[in-house]
């Protein structure tokens, strides 16, 4: 019994479709890995930069304000406000990326999670007052901390 080309054409088409689908999945995974590496490398470069580290260490070790109004009275328009906005803004952006699923938080937080927790611990008392004046301030940062075990368990004593 001889097979005609029309008899095996659907089988060939199905095989071609399956091979194309597998190839596409492999390429999409590669793109996802490439995006993750590019984004996390950029975040890590910012996090390691001298300007960012100086600002972050100021927030962790030198910020003493107990309320947003006290903070503004001491630091508005000065290096302290710039440090808080730089560091809080960075972690808020990381929170946006993690919370929206663009970056897997389990991996990026292995590197920056501990200091993110320390920063949040310092600025959390200011947030209720700050958000009364600026709703949404560092909301994604807070969401990042809420689901980060390493961040939540990291609370350093202030000097």
Mean pLDDT, residues 22-43 taken together: 90
In whole angstroms, what is the distance from residue 136 CA to residue 143 CA? 11
Looking at residue 7, its pLDDT comes to: 82
* Residue 48: inside a domain: yes
The DSSP output letter for 101 is T
* Residue 8: inside a domain: no
The DSSP output letter for 100 is T
* Residue 12: inside a domain: no
* Residue 45: inside a domain: yes
Which residue, 26, 31, 40, is CA-closest to 103?
A: 40
* Residue 56: inside a domain: yes
2 — pLDDT class (breaks 50, 70, 90): low
In whole angstroms, what is the distance from residue 140 CA to residue 92 CA? 5
* Residue 142: inside a domain: yes
End-to-end CA distance of the chain: 89
What is the domain range of residue 124? 36-152
CA dist list (Å): 57 to 68, 80, 82, 99 = 19, 11, 13, 25
Identify whether the C-beta of residue 10 lies closer than 8 Å to the C-beta of residue 75.
no
* Residue 133: inside a domain: yes
How many domains is the chain built from? 1
CA dist list (Å): 127 to 79, 84, 118, 120, 137 = 19, 12, 15, 10, 8
Mean pLDDT of the chain: 89
* Residue 136: inside a domain: yes
Looking at residue 36, its pLDDT comes to: 86
CA dist list (Å): 46 to 21, 83, 135, 149 = 38, 14, 26, 23
- In tens, the pLDDT along 90-149 reads 999 999 999 998 888 888 888 899 999 999 999 999 999 999 999 999 999 999 998 776
Q: Which residue has the higher pLDDT, 60 or 36?
A: 60
Identify whether the C-beta of residue 83 lies closer than 8 Å to the C-beta of residue 116.
no
pLDDT value at 45 more than 70: yes
Q: Say how far residue 114 (Cα) sits from the centre of its chain.
A: 13
Dihedral, 123, 124, 125, 131 alpha carbons, nearest 10: 100
């Amino acid at each position: 019994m001889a097979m005609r080309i029309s008899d095996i054409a659907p089988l060939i088409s199905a095989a071609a479709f399956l091979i194309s689908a597998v190839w596409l999945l492999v390429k999409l995974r590669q793109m996802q890995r490439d995006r993750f590496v590019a984004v996390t490398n950029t975040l890590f470069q910012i996090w390691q930069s001298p300007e960012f580290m100086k600002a972050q260490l100021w927030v962790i070790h030198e910020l003493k304000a107990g309320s947003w109004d006290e903070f503004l009275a001491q630091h508005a328009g000065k290096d302290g406000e710039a440090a808080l906005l730089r560091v809080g803004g960075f972690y808020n952006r990381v929170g946006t990326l993690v919370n929206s699923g663009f970056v897997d938080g389990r991996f990026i937080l292995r590197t920056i999670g501990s200091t993110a927790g320390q920063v949040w611990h310092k600025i959390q008392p200011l947030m209720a007052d700050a958000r009364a004046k600026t709703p949404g301030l560092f909301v994604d940062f807070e969401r990042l901390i809420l689901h980060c075990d390493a961040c939540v368990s990291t609370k350093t004593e202030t000097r």
